[in-house]
Structure 1
Amino acid sequence: MRIEAASVLHSHAYTDYFQQCRAAGCSHYRDSDDSAAVFYQRVLDRAAGRQLPPGQLPTETWFALDAHGVILGAIRLRHGCTPFILDHSGHIGYEVHPAARGRGVAGGLLAYVQRHGAPQLDGGWLMTCDDDNAASQRVISRAGGVLLTATAQGPGEPWLRFYHLPARRC
């Protein structure tokens, strides 16, 4: 597995990834009516700080890729602090292609961001996940995430909020 910043080089591989993640109900994709191409252009624009919606901040995206360039997972790092980031999305969001789950992809992506991403709050980041997502809770905890709160994003949507420290840089 290799990890690369999202770029135009990944546009073709992104279509399948987008469709599979949307079909699996990944929250990052399920509420969008956009095509994979439109959605991916937004990923590239946000990384460059272009065409940001009100209240949104630049967001870097990296992909975990297999030897054939198939996207196994994605991780996003939102730069800065807004009420939405602090109270809802957190600084880091990720998902794994349904066929690649249970293979260490999320942990590898999170370890990469710990080493290479710019820390936000007091040298760390906030992360959130659904309270019924035991796999994500394990990934975040194994990487040093500390549970801060358990609350609800909306009616019937319980979630957990973690503080996460970056790994030591050598």
Structure 2
Amino acid sequence: MLTGIPADLGSGPVRLRFERIVPGDPLLGLVPFYRFKVLDTNGDEVGHINLRIGATRHVTMTAGHIGYEILPEYRGASYSYHACLAMAPFIRLHYDRVILTVDPENAPSMRIIEKLGAKFINETEVPIDDPAYAKGARRKRRYEWVF
């Protein structure tokens, strides 16, 4: 169930601004998610972060509950890490633990996930019928972030 958004979500140099709720597609195993803009201290948008609500195979094996993207010109400033920390109070309204996933070759994201204190679960193949497979994903590293 999608519930209210806390008014102030921030950590370090990051503030999150709620953007919208994106509906899921049950036929594809896609769940609804909350989308937030990631803003820096000047209020400039530096990326976005999503919280997926649900536990389909796609979420738990491939996509994870949290997805983020920082614009290339802002990478390397720990914005993803702080966006995850900023989102934590909101995540706790829905979960006491979440699955985070990363492509094995994405070392920067792996470092962020490990810095958050998430514990490695396993590395797995992306199922051929998963939407991520059609986009080129073949393997995912899975982590559990406990609150």
Fold similarity call, TM over 0.5: yes
**What is the match of residue 158 of structure 1?**
139
Higher relative contact order (CA 8 A, sep 6+): 2
Gaps of 5+ in 1: 8-43
The 1-side partners of 2:41 and 2:101 are apart by 30
In the TM superposition, what whole-angstrom CA distance separates every residue of 1:113-149 from its partner, at most 9, and x where no partner exists? 22332343xx100010011111111111111111101
**For the structure 1 residues 45 and 109, does the alpha-carbon distance in structure 2 shift closer, same or farther, using more than 3 Å as the test?**
closer
Identity rate, percent: 25
**What is the match of residue 107 of structure 2?**
134
Between Structure 1 and Structure 2, how many residues are aligned? Answer: 124
Normalising by structure 1, what TM-score? Answer: 0.65
In the TM superposition, what whole-angstrom CA distance separates every residue of 1:9-51 from its partner, at most 9, and x where no partner exists? xxxxxxxxxxxxxxxxxxxxxxxxxxxxxxxxxxx341xx5xx
**What is the match of residue 81 of structure 1?**
55
Amino acid at match of 1:77: L
Structure 1 residue 73, shift from structure 2 partner? 2.1
Aligned to 1:132, what secondary structure does the other structure show? Answer: coil
The 2-side partners of 1:62 and 1:134 are apart by 24
Name the one with the larger strand percent: 2
* Contact 1:114–1:165 (Cα < 8 Å) also in 2: no
In the TM superposition, what whole-angstrom CA distance separates every residue of 1:85-126 from its partner, at most 9, and x where no partner exists? 112111111111100111010010011122332343xx1000
Name the one with the larger helix percent: 1
RMSD over aligned Cα atoms: 2.0
